[in-house]
Every structure is written in C-alpha cells, then in structure tokens.
C-alpha cells in the first residue's frame, strides 16, 4: 500500500526558480526510504513539505490515499525528528518525550504505559528525570527518537538526525534506528547528505540534485547501475573513478594514456557516440598477477586502513583509486601491476551524462543469495 504519494510536486519561493521541480514519488507502507543529495539539493524542503511545514507550490501530496496539501502538520498523523533534536531545555527527559501526547490529550495511564515501553526500548529508563543539558549527544538523539516513537504515528520523518554525532556513535545509531523501524513497522522517510548512511539504511534511495530526481532504486542498484554521471560520482565510497575516453583501433583509450582492448561486439554501439566518459569502481582495479596484468601504474598516494589499502594513481588529468583488501606494503613512487577490464567499466554519454552501458561483472566472485 502507498503510504506517501507525490504527484508533480514543485516548490518555488516568491515565484522564482523552482527549488523542487515536478517530483513524482511513491513510498510504500513499512518502507525505509532515504532522500540523499548534496547540500541545497532540496531534500530537507521535500521532507518539510510532507510534514506540512512548507507549502506546496504545485502538485498533489497524498498520505494514506488522502490529499493533504492544505492539512496542518497536526492532522497528518506523522512524527518528525529534527537535525538539532529540538528538545525543550527546561523540561525533563520524561516531559520532553510526553510533550506531544499531552498536546493530544492522551490519558495519563496510556501516557505512562507508552513511556515505560519506549524508555526501555531506547535505553532511557535511568535518565527520565534529567534535563537535556545533562545528556550526551547520543542520549539527546535517543530522546528525540523516543518522542517520535511514543506518538505511535505510522509515518516518521527524519531530517539528518545523526549529523551532530561522532563517527562511532553515528554508526551505532544507524543500526538502532533501522532495528527500531523494523520492530515497529514504521514507514520512515530519512534525509541525509551522507551516502554511506543512505546505502546502509535504506530499502530504497532517491538521489536529488538541483531539485530534480536523478534516480530512485535499491542501494545496490544505484551502486551497480547508476543512471547518470552524478549518481555514479555521488554513490559509493571512494567515489567511482571517471575519465574521458574514445575507441581507437579496437581499443578503449582513457584520458589519452590508458589503453584497454574492447570486445568487437561493443565497438559498433559505443563508437556511435561523440563523447564517452567511463567509470570504474575502486574495487574493480584488481591486483595484477603474472597471468593477467594489463598495466603497471605508478602509486602517488597510499592509505593504510588496516582491513584494506587504498592506492591512488594518476590517469591523465584524473586521480584514480584502487581498493585492495588486506594490508599491502606499497610506497609512493612504486609501480604496481594491475588488471583492468572493460567488463568492469561503465560507459556514459559525456554530453547528457546518461548511462549507456553498465559494468557487466560486479565482482570477481559471484553474488551469493542466502
């Protein structure tokens, strides 16, 4: 069942250029849906329009098959968690959590029942009498989440709720929020500029840029088959390696320096295009062996991350990164053998930016379904 539906929804301020332009989107009941994009792309504005905190300039917004364009936030049966927590500093944790229920005049017995269940679930039972200033950032975030959960609204909106936390706590809270959403069966719409958060949390992701939808799909689909150059460069860490390319004498020539044999079946299709841009993921630049080395590349930077090693190479005007599992003793200036195949390369139209042909091999190993 469609819980949220946007049909040709647009937003403009004072009749100026649209900050959101004809957004068409359906979010299913029980789905964890992530809106991701760079700062200024319109993702928070879209979330606030769903919440009723921003007016819709054009188009139709439905929640549970009911048009809600002109309904105030209190009548939309949803909850929202803000980036800055939005806790009342003069109220205790208990009072903050129950604030919305008091406003809705829920009876005291029911309030206490929900409070007890939610406080246990969020690990806040020992903090109910404290004020927000006596809590850590992670604890404040859990209070904001608890206030949303206790409302028992089926639709929960979150606007970059983890951006104020340190890396370790952010990783922990990602897991907790996802567990909570599954346990309660909530429909969650989650805004972030962090593509790692988007990839690890979402059932589906919508990538926004300049107020327009770039792609909607499952995280792995966006990673393996990005619709255009923007999605390819935005989704994935490290980002996809890119370069201008042309097919010359049955070879793919990247940035004028890297030459790779091309399957004759692909030549006819790809040479019809005036401009080619290619992309390859860091993990698809493999370590070369005595049997399969295709190139020797000079290392210009090494990042030892413990469980993996990132090597950077200069390919024409571009810097490319290879990601190899494990610890590799490589120094800057070394020339290392690598294996690069067109089967691992995605092809894009340079002018339009649209994907022409995705990489045909995802990994050296097959994807295993459990």
In the prediction, which pLDDT does 184 show?
A: 87
Does residue 52 form part of some domain? yes
For the beta carbon of residue 79, count every other beta carbon within 10 angstroms.
23
Domain identity same for 17 and 162: yes
In the prediction, which pLDDT does 224 show?
A: 94
Q: Helix, strand, coil: what percent of the chain each, to 5?
A: 30, 35, 35
Domain identity same for 193 and 322: no
Domain identity same for 152 and 88: yes
The residue with tokens 């991701």 is: 36
In the prediction, which pLDDT does 361 show?
A: 63
Does residue 53 form part of some domain? yes
Domain identity same for 206 and 58: yes
In the prediction, which pLDDT does 368 show?
A: 47
Q: Taking a C-beta distance cutoff of 8 angstroms, is the pair 229, 241 a contact? A: no
**330: burial class by Cβ within 10 Å (0-12, 13-18, 19+)?**
middle
Does residue 332 form part of some domain? yes
Q: Which residues pair with 302 in a beta bridge?
A: 311
- CA dist 277 and 209 (Å) reads 20
The residue with tokens 């919305």 is: 100
Q: Taking a C-beta distance cutoff of 8 angstroms, is the pair 177, 171 a contact? A: no
Does residue 189 form part of some domain? yes
Strand ranges of the sheet holding 66-67, from the earlier edge strand across to the other edge: 18-28, 2-12, 58-63, 66-67
Does residue 366 form part of some domain? no
Which stretches in the chain have pLDDT values below 50?
Answer: 363-366, 368-370
Q: Taking a C-beta distance cutoff of 8 angstroms, is the pair 247, 267 a contact? A: yes
In the prediction, which pLDDT does 231 show?
A: 96
Domain identity same for 80 and 104: yes
Report phi then psi at 32, rounded to 5. Answer: -100, 105
Domain identity same for 143 and 50: yes
Question: Which residues constitute the domain of residue 273?
Answer: 239-357
Domain identity same for 225 and 129: yes
CATH of the domain at 267: 2.40.50.140
Does residue 370 form part of some domain? no
Our count of domains for the chain comes to 2
For the beta carbon of residue 165, count every other beta carbon within 10 angstroms.
18
Domain identity same for 6 and 153: yes
Does residue 368 form part of some domain? no
Q: Which of 229, 248, 277 is the last residue in one of the domains?
A: 229
CATH of the domain at 7: 3.40.50.300
Domain identity same for 154 and 270: no
**22: burial class by Cβ within 10 Å (0-12, 13-18, 19+)?**
middle
The residue with tokens 């295993």 is: 368
Q: Which of 200, 229, 258 is the last residue in one of the domains?
A: 229
Domain identity same for 20 and 168: yes
- CA dist 66 and 52 (Å) reads 14
In the prediction, which pLDDT does 272 show?
A: 66
Domain identity same for 326 and 220: no
- CA dist 46 and 33 (Å) reads 13
**Can you say how many angstroms the Cα of residue 217 is from the centroid of all Cα atoms in its chain?**
11
**65: burial class by Cβ within 10 Å (0-12, 13-18, 19+)?**
exposed
Q: Which of 211, 229, 247 is the last residue in one of the domains?
A: 229
Does residue 55 form part of some domain? yes
In the prediction, which pLDDT does 307 show?
A: 93
Angle formed by the axes of helices 108-122 and 93-103, to 10°? 140
C-alpha dihedral, 172 to 155 to 24 to 211, nearest 10°: -50
Domain identity same for 204 and 83: yes
């Amino acid at each position: 069942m469609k819980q949220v539906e946007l049909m040709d929804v647009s937003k403009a301020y004072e009749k100026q250029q649209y900050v959101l332009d004809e957004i068409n989107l359906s979010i299913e009941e029980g789905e964890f849906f992530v809106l991701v994009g760079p700062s200024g792309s319109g993702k928070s504005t879209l979330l606030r329009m769903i919440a009723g905190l921003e007016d819709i300039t054009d188009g139709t917004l439905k929640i549970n098959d009911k048009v809600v364009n002109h309904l105030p936030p209190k009548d939309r049966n949803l909850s929202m968690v803000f980036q800055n927590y939005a806790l009342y500093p003069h109220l205790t944790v208990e009072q903050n959590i129950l604030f919305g229920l008091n406003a809705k005049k829920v009876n005291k017995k029911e309030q206490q029942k929900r409070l007890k269940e939610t406080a246990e679930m969020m690990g806040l039972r020992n903090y109910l009498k404290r004020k927000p200033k006596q809590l850590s950032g992670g604890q404040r975030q859990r209070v904001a989440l608890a206030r949303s959960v206790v409302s028992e609204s089926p639709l929960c909106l979150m606007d970059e709720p983890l951006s104020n936390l340190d890396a370790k706590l952010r990783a922990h809270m990602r897991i907790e929020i996802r567990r909570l959403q599954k346990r309660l069966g909530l429909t969650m719409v989650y805004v972030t500029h962090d593509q790692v958060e988007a990839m690890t949390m979402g059932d589906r992701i919508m990538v926004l840029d300049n107020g327009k939808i770039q792609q909607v799909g499952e995280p792995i689909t966006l990673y393996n088959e990005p619709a255009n150059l923007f999605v390819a460069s935005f989704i994935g860490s490290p980002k996809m390696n890119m370069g201008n390319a042309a097919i010359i004498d049955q070879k793919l020539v990247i940035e004028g320096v890297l030459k790779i044999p091309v399957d004759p079946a692909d030549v006819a299709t790809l040479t019809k295009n005036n401009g080619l841009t290619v992309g390859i993921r860091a993990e698809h630049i493999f370590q070369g062996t005595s049997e399969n080395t295709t190139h020797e590349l000079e290392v210009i930077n090494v990042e030892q991350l413990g469980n993996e090693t990132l090597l950077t190479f200069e390919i024409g005007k571009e810097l490319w990164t290879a990601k190899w599992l494990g610890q590799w003793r490589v120094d800057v200036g070394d020339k290392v053998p690598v294996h690069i195949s067109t089967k691992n390369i995605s092809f894009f139209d340079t002018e339009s930016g649209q994907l022409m042909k995705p990489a045909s091999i995802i990994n050296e190993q097959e994807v295993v379904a459990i």
